[in-house]
Structure 1
Amino acid sequence: MNITDTLLTAREGAQVLQVSIPTFWRRVADGTVPKPVKIGALSRWPRSEIIAVIEAAKAQRSAA
C-alpha cells in the first residue's frame, strides 16, 4: 500500500468487484479478498488490494 492509496469501505469494495456486500464479506472469509485494515472499529481495504484481486482473477483465467 502506498501513501496515496485510497481506503475503501466494504460497500465501495463490493462496488469495484461488482458483487453484493454479503458476497464481498464471503470472499473476505474465504481469503479471495484480503482481510481489512482495521482503524479502530472501522474496516477498510486499500484500493490497490481490491484491484489486485481482479488482476489475480484475470491471470488465473489466462492460465487455465
Structure 2
Amino acid sequence: MTITDPLLKAREAAAHLGISEPTFWRHVGKGTLPKPVKLGANSRWPRSEILGFIEAAKAKRIDT
C-alpha cells in the first residue's frame, strides 16, 4: 500500500508554509487554514490541503 497523500503533523505543515507552529495554530483557529483530521488525540493535515492553500494564495496574488 502506497500513501499518496501523507498526513503532516502541525510542525511539518508549518514548515511547508514557512511559519512557526504557534502561527500555524493561530491560522487554524481563525479558519484561514483547514481544520485537522483527528486521529485519536492527534491532529494531522493532508499534505494536499497544505499545498492547496499555498496554490490558492499564489492564485490570489496574481488576481490582485
Q: TM-score, length-normalised on structure 1?
A: 0.92
Name the SS for the 2:19 alignment partner: coil
Identity %: 66
Q: Which amino acid aligns with 2:56?
A: A
Runs (5+) with no aligned partner, structure 1: none
Counterparts of 1:9 and 1:28, CA distance in 2: 13
State the distance in 2 between where 1:52 and 1:32 align. 12
CA deviation map 1:3-61 (0-9, x unaligned): 52000000000000000000000110111210000000000000000001100100110
Q: 3-state DSSP class of the match of 2:49?
A: helix
| Consecutive unaligned residues in structure 2, runs of 5 or more | none
> Equivalents in 1 of 2:43, 2:60: separation in Å?
27
| CA RMSD, 1 decimal | 0.9
Size of the alignment, in residue pairs? 62
Pair 1:8-2:8 in alignment: yes
Counterpart residue type for residue 22 of structure 2: P
Q: TM-score, normalised by structure 2?
A: 0.92
Q: Give yes or no for the alignment of 1:50 onto 2:53.
A: no
Secondary structure of 1:32's match?
A: coil
